[in-house]
């Protein structure tokens, strides 16, 4: 079983609802166990900033799925919850990214682990640090990485999950 961290985000429709439904679908997926979810966070968009704010979270899971099987599972959940891939970094009902898969380092056309931009994004680092404040990413403590994202607005919000 590998310990894996997934990043979830939504900025269309019932954002909190999409995140909560995705977490429930992940919990009930074959090959996924012991899911723990961070709090939910309201975050400003990065990249294409001309869109609504996001709701983001990180989940920790244990899985016996390999990285590609896990990616397919996550993309299936995105599709089930109405994800349409129209515009890169554009608005979406749901996005699920594989952030970390144990200590694996993978770079292929389909997937890159650790997620290549996670160390620059407070909306990933803050909920990840909530779940595991001692984690290191490519040898760098998460608290060091977080300190370089102080200029990004990330606000914890209430949800029915916590």
Q: What positions carry a catalytic annotation?
A: 83, 92, 95, 97
Which pairs with CB-CB distance under 8 Å and at least 24 residues apart come from 100-105? Answer: 100/4, 100/5, 100/135, 100/137, 101/2, 101/4, 101/67, 101/70, 102/2, 102/3, 102/4, 104/2, 104/67
d(CA 55, CA 109): 27
Q: Are 152 and 35 in contact (CB under 8 A)?
A: no
Cα–Cα distance between 116 and 89 in angstroms, integer? 14
93: cis peptide before it, omega within 30°?
no
Structure tokens at 25: 């679908």
Tokens of 89: 């970094």
């Amino acid at each position: 079983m590998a310990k894996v961290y997934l990043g979830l985000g939504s900025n269309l429709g019932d954002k909190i609802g999409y995140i909560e439904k995705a977490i429930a679908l992940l919990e009930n997926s074959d090959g996924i166990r012991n899911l723990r979810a961070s709090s939910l966070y309201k975050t400003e968009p990065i990249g294409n900033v001309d869109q609504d704010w996001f709701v983001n979270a990180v989940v920790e899971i244990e899985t016996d799925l390999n990285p590609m099987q896990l990616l397919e599972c996550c993309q299936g959940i995105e599709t089930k919850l109405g994800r349409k891939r129209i515009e890169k970094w554009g608005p979406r009902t749901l996005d699920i990214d594989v952030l970390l898969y144990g200590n694996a380092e993978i770079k292929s056309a389909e997937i890159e682990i650790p997620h290549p931009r996670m160390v620059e994004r407070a909306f990933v680092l803050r909920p990840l640090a909530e779940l595991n404040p001692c984690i290191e990413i490519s040898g760098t403590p998460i608290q060091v990485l977080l300190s370089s994202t102080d200029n990004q607005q990330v606000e914890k919000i209430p949800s029915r999950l916590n």
